[in-house]
Amino acid sequence: MTPAIRVQQVTKRYGAVQALAGVDLEVAQGEFFGLLGPNGAGKTTLISALAGLVRASSGQLEVMGHDVVADYRAARRSLGVVPQELVFDPFFTVRETLDLQSGYFGIRNNGAWIDEILDELDLTAKAGANMRALSGGMKRRVLVAQALVHRPPVIVLDEPTAGVDVELRQGLWQFVRRLNRAGHTIVLTTHYLEEAESLCGRIAMLKAGRVVALDTTANLLSRSSTHALRLKLGNGGSLPAELEARVVAREGGAITLGFDRFDEIGGVLERLRASGVAIDDMEIGKPDLEQIFVDVMRAS
Amino acid sequence: MPTGAFSTLLYKETLRFWKVGFQTVAAPVLTSLLYLLIFSHALEAHVRVFESVSYTAFLVPGLVMMSLLQNAFANSSSSLIQSKVTGNIIFVLLPPLSYREFFAAYVLAAMVRGLVVGLGVWLTTLWLVDLHYAYPLWIVVFALLGGAILGALGVIAGIWADKFDQLAAFQNFIIMPLTFLSGVFYSIHSLPAFWQTVSHANPVFYMIDGFRYGFFGQSDVSPWISLAIVAICFVVLSALTLLMLARGYKLRG
């Protein structure tokens, strides 16, 4: 099956800055794909190159098999982009904005689908309101609606929940999950790694314009030995010397020990008891994407 | 509501200025009317450019054309700079619009605004002056070409400028002098030889002179020369604008 997105050896240079340094990626149709990286890693540049907002210095990008330069009309019809910035045209109402966006994609009689999107995004009551009169969260939802008016098979969300309250964030993710279940390919960039962990089936991590990790979320999580045991020892007790090798962090009187397997924790507790060390507080943590992300960024 | 990408962009650009019609249409019409009242009051008895044409009548086509040109430029340039500064330009960059459609929509919308304002000036001055219409086709041709040229120049300025003050500089230091020093208020034959030569290097002079010829059948230079120069300007500026758009200059990184 044709990949939803294919990126081959893409580079992008802005003067002395190498924003993309040979990116290779494929996203299959129907995937929920995460694109992670620190600020300046090249995520937005890559998305912009896919959307035709910037031109790659070299390499090839395709959306649903359509080259974004040679076959830009078909590529752009296949792609919906929710931009990172909260942008809007202050001259128009919500419905006018969506009608115009439909027209740009050559779609006639799109009223029923626009009504459905407005309803799904809880914007029906604001359809006649000028864009300037909307709250930040509502403007963000209109951006989502604009990206969907032409029913694109591939939807890119560039940090859609930045500065968004919890309720809207949850509502937005429910809606995006439904779109994904309906067959839409979703590409998400976010700095909220817990969101990426819970939503994305596969993740690429970018650093300095290169892909430094690309795997399923489950495989990425299993890479690390960070089953973590966080302890606060009582009565000025100190950790037995043979456990020092497991220490991954010391912070505010708490010691964090790392494990490959969950069942190793029992042995450690046994050793502490045998040494007569009292435990004031204890917390067991699963490996999380944030730790993996930090590890990958440090290692690369 | 139109359904094609080009027609939607044209519709949106037209709707955009129409929604703020007091600012974009009524205000420039009023300004032109004030020019007419003040200049005709001050100079009607002292200046006669063409025989059998009063100074007030001479002034009207110049003011109509000047308003048309300035507003055609303002429409495309202000729309683009606002969209760039606020970031909503992406809404027209993401859809499957070709650079030719982009060019045509912005220039045509600029022409529409220029023509609406020019028509407004003409209509409001009808009760003040008895105009002649010697060659209406020349009037239409120069109005359309002038609007298209300034619309294209507005696209260039809107794309080139990164900030509002850069656009203001373009408008105040290029467009305003070109339009004011083009024979709107006088015949260039009344100027010293040096300034006559300078005026002949101003393409707006030919737009206004040719436009005025359509009303009175008299002009400073042959309307055919004016038409040739204006047509060349249109071709050159359109080619430059299309080249900028095709390369994505300042629009597509």
- Nearest chain B alpha carbon to A131: B88
> Does the interface predicted TM-score (ipTM) exceed 0.85?
yes
On whether residue B147 sits in a domain, the answer given is yes
User: Are A48 and B87 in contact (CB < 8 Å)?
Assistant: no
Q: B46 or B148, which is more confident?
A: B148
User: Are A54 and B95 in contact (CB < 8 Å)?
Assistant: no
* Torsion, Cα of A25, A31, A36, A42 (10° steps): 40
The total of structural domains in chain B comes to: 1
Residue pair A62/A3 in contact (Cβ under 8 Å)? The answer is yes
User: Are A91 and B5 in contact (CB < 8 Å)?
Assistant: no
On whether residue B156 sits in a domain, the answer given is yes
Q: How confident is the model at residue B3 (pLDDT cuts 50, 70, 90)?
A: low
Residue A226 confidence (pLDDT): 63
Q: What percent of chain A has pLDDT over 90?
A: 60
Q: What percent of chain B has pLDDT over 90?
A: 75
Q: How far is Cα A151 from Cα A261, in angstroms, rounded to an integer? A: 45
- Nearest chain A alpha carbon to B3: A103
Residue B184 confidence (pLDDT): 85
* Domain boundaries defined on chain A: 5-221, 225-286
Q: How confident is the model at residue B197 (pLDDT cuts 50, 70, 90)?
A: confident
Q: How far is Cα B44 from Cα A111, in angstroms, rounded to an integer? A: 58
Residue-number span of the structural domain to which B160 is assigned: 5-247
Measured between CA atoms, how close is A179 to chain B, in angstroms? 21
Of B3, B11, B88, the CB nearest to A89: B88
What integer is the mean pLDDT of A207-222? 91
What integer is the mean pLDDT of B123-146? 93
What integer is the mean pLDDT of A123-143? 93
Q: How far is Cα A72 from Cα A54, in angstroms, rounded to an integer? A: 13
Q: Residue B168 above 70 pLDDT?
A: yes
Of B20, B88, B96, the CB nearest to A77: B96
Q: Give residue-wise pLDDT tens across range B30-74.
A: 999 999 888 887 776 666 667 777 888 889 999 999 999 999 999
| pTM (2 d.p.) | 0.88
Exposure b/e, A60-85, CB count within 10 A at least 16 = b:
ebbbbebebeebbebbbbbbbbbbbe
On whether residue B152 sits in a domain, the answer given is yes
On whether any CB of chain A is under 8 Å from the CB of B236, the answer is no
Residue B146 confidence (pLDDT): 97
Residues sharing a CB contact under 8 Å with residue A70, sequence separation 6 or more, in sequence order = none
Of B4, B93, B252, the CB nearest to A106: B4
Residue B67 confidence (pLDDT): 96
What integer is the mean pLDDT of B173-184? 88
Residues sharing a CB contact under 8 Å with residue B203, sequence separation 6 or more, in sequence order = B149, B178, B229, B230, B233
Of A48, A73, A89, the CB nearest to B91: A89
Q: Burial, A146: exposed, middle or buried (Cβ in 10 Å; 0-12, 13-18, 19+)? A: buried
On whether residue B252 sits in a domain, the answer given is no
Residue A232 confidence (pLDDT): 87
Name which of A216-220, A221-225, B106-110 the model is least confident about.
Answer: A221-225
Q: How confident is the model at residue A20 (pLDDT cuts 50, 70, 90)?
A: very high
Mean pLDDT taken over chain A: 90
User: Are B16 and A91 in contact (CB < 8 Å)?
Assistant: yes
What integer is the mean pLDDT of B227-250? 97
Of A76, A92, A100, the CB nearest to B96: A76
Show the CA angle centred on residue B33, arms to residues B12 and B220, nearest 5°.
95
Q: How far is Cα A11 from Cα A14, in angstroms, rounded to an integer? A: 10
User: Are B95 and A76 in contact (CB < 8 Å)?
Assistant: yes
Q: Give residue-wise pLDDT tens across range A56-102.
A: 999 999 999 999 999 999 999 999 999 989 999 999 999 999 999 99
Q: Give residue-wise pLDDT tens across range A73-84.
A: 999 999 999 998
Which residues of chain B lie closer than 8 angstroms to A52, CB-CB? 93-94, 252
Which residues of chain A lie closer than 8 angstroms to B88, CB-CB? 87-89
Which residues of chain A lie closer than 8 angstroms to B83, CB-CB? 89
Interface of B with A in 18-37 (CB under 8 A): 19-20
User: Are B96 and A72 in contact (CB < 8 Å)?
Assistant: yes
Q: Residue B237 above 90 pLDDT?
A: yes
Mean pLDDT taken over chain B: 92
Q: Give residue-wise pLDDT tens across range A244-288.
A: 888 877 877 788 888 877 788 888 888 888 888 888 888 887 777
Residue A35 confidence (pLDDT): 96
User: Are B3 and A108 in contact (CB < 8 Å)?
Assistant: yes
Residue B86 confidence (pLDDT): 94
User: Are A91 and B86 in contact (CB < 8 Å)?
Assistant: no
Interface of B with A in 71-100 (CB under 8 A): 83, 86-88, 90-98
DSSP letters, A17-76, are EEEEEEEEEEE-TT-EEEEE--TTSSHHHHHHHHHTSS--SEEEEEETTEETTTTHHHHH
Name which of A40-49, B151-160, B174-183 the model is least confident about.
Answer: B174-183
Q: What percent of chain B has pLDDT over 70?
A: 96
Q: How far is Cα B237 from Cα B178, in angstroms, rounded to an integer? A: 16
Which residues of chain B lie closer than 8 angstroms to A100, CB-CB? 8, 11-12, 91
User: Are B3 and A90 in contact (CB < 8 Å)?
Assistant: no
User: Are B96 and A81 in contact (CB < 8 Å)?
Assistant: no
On whether residue B253 sits in a domain, the answer given is no
Which residues of chain A lie closer than 8 angstroms to B78, CB-CB? none
Q: Give residue-wise pLDDT tens across range A153-206.
A: 999 999 888 777 888 888 889 999 999 999 999 999 988 888 899 999 999 999
Of B16, B98, B253, the CB nearest to A48: B253
In this structure, CATH architecture of domain A5-221: 3-Layer(aba) Sandwich (3.40)
Residue B47 confidence (pLDDT): 67
Q: How far is Cα A189 from Cα A83, in angstroms, rounded to an integer? A: 10
Residue A223 confidence (pLDDT): 73
- Nearest chain A alpha carbon to B6: A104
Q: Residue B96 above 90 pLDDT?
A: yes
Residue B45 confidence (pLDDT): 67
